[in-house]
Amino acid sequence: MKARVLDGVDVLRVVDVLRSQGYQVVAPFAEEGGDGAFSTVTDENRDAIALHLPNPLYPPKRFALPPIEPLLEIRGHGAETTFRPIVEAPRVAVFGIRSCDVAGIGHLDRFYLEGAYRDLYYATRREALFLVNVVCTLPGVDVGEACFCPCTDTGPAAREGFDLQLMDLGGGEWLALAGSQKGEALFQEPFFRRGTPEHLARRRALLDDLRTRFKTFTSWFAAAISRISRGEVSEGTWEEIGRRCLECGGCTYVCPACTCFTVSDRPAGPDRTERVRIWDSCALSGFTRMAGGHNPRKAVHDRRNRRFYRKLSHHFIQRERSVACVGCGRCAEICHGDVGMPTVVELLRRGPTGPSPAANGGKA
């Protein structure tokens, strides 16, 4: 992997180069109310790109897998019906994607491209995607309270999956690593210069220090994976988790590694139907409708069971070569009942804390 050094004032020139190459560049910007979001870079907003800010809640996964993606256009009726596939390959460069989100796209790749079936739509979009990873370096800003990537071994600095990685070494200097030939080609730009062993030493020292700055660092997956894979998680634990799930679907919408979708045909004008795929969520009641519909509570517990089995069981880890959690902490932030991944790992490790409050007949 080749490394180069560049000055902080030149970092956004990477964006300029990508735009001049015809990429639609999306980058993080600060939004009202302390939020951040990935938006398209224009001449007007280019200087407002935020290199350090809390990782936006809405993950950049959507540039590889849009929330609503048209697949097919259907026109006419009966024998006259025509089908036209809609395969889009916009050249998008995500500038400032964090290491956890890079790992998330890696997970999507293994799911959509390396299984028994290669997904044409995903493959086309993915091949046109360029990823510029920016390493989180500022505790309390880049690294949020809910972040726990050291536990999933996905950060703070990604080891693979990016085309280019940028890291703020402090003192106005940034280190760049090429992760692909496309990324390495950028090193021809004059604002990159050769680094010294001292730069790499600074990188190591920064990362060593940063690993001690995480607020959430006890998401100990090993025991949780072992328990869930052996079927040792009690009904009581699943009930506890299910009771706290309000079925909003948020955990899957913000998850960089969730892959589920549903397909729907919807009217798109007179004589025109569009087949779309839409992000789906195992948290939702319609995801796996229980025949008979009675006992919705049991269904919730089963669906929560499914989410964490899907993410943590040995069976799936073996198939996709990673835990389907990248430690971004978003599910913990958006969960109404505080059953994001770190809490669940803890609940799975410990087992239920006692009988459910309602189980004693409501008597205190």
Query: Where do contacts with another protein occur on this chain (CB under 8 A)?
Result: 29, 31-35, 37, 39-40, 45, 54, 56-58, 62, 67-68, 243-244, 246-250, 253-254, 262, 264, 266-269, 276, 278, 280, 284-286, 289, 291-297, 333-338, 356-358, 361-364
Compute the distance between CA of residue 324 and CA of residue 306 in angstroms, rounded to an integer.
Answer: 13
Nearest distance in Å: CB 100, another protein:
17
* Backbone CA torsion sign across 204, 328, 90, 53: negative
Identity of the residue, 172 or 362, whose beta carbon is nearer to another protein in the bound complex: 362
Report the side by side order of strands in the sheet with 261-267: 82-85, 68-75, 272-279, 261-267
Residues paired with 68 in a beta bridge: 278
- Pair type for strands 3-7 and 173-178: antiparallel
Nearest distance in Å: CB 131, another protein:
20
Q: How many CA atoms lie within 13 A of 163 on its CB side?
A: 21
Identity of the residue, 203 or 275, whose beta carbon is nearer to another protein in the bound complex: 275
Distances (CA, A) of 181 to 168, 177, 178: 22, 11, 7
Nearest distance in Å: CB 23, another protein:
16
| Cβ contact 303:310 at 8 Å | no
The secondary structure element, H or E, covering residue 6 is strand 3-7
Work out the number of other CB atoms within 10 angstroms of the CB of residue 264: 12
Identity of the residue, 27 or 257, whose beta carbon is nearer to another protein in the bound complex: 27
Identity of the residue, 178 or 348, whose beta carbon is nearer to another protein in the bound complex: 348
Amino acid at 269: G
Identity of the residue, 175 or 328, whose beta carbon is nearer to another protein in the bound complex: 328
Nearest distance in Å: CB 124, another protein:
19
Compute the distance between CA of residue 268 and CA of residue 274 in angstroms, rounded to an integer.
Answer: 6
Compute the distance between CA of residue 30 and CA of residue 228 in angstroms, rounded to an integer.
Answer: 39
Nearest distance in Å: CB 336, another protein:
3
Nearest distance in Å: CB 94, another protein:
15
Identity of the residue, 75 or 110, whose beta carbon is nearer to another protein in the bound complex: 75
Identity of the residue, 121 or 253, whose beta carbon is nearer to another protein in the bound complex: 253
Nearest distance in Å: CB 338, another protein:
6
Work out the number of other CB atoms within 10 angstroms of the CB of residue 358: 8
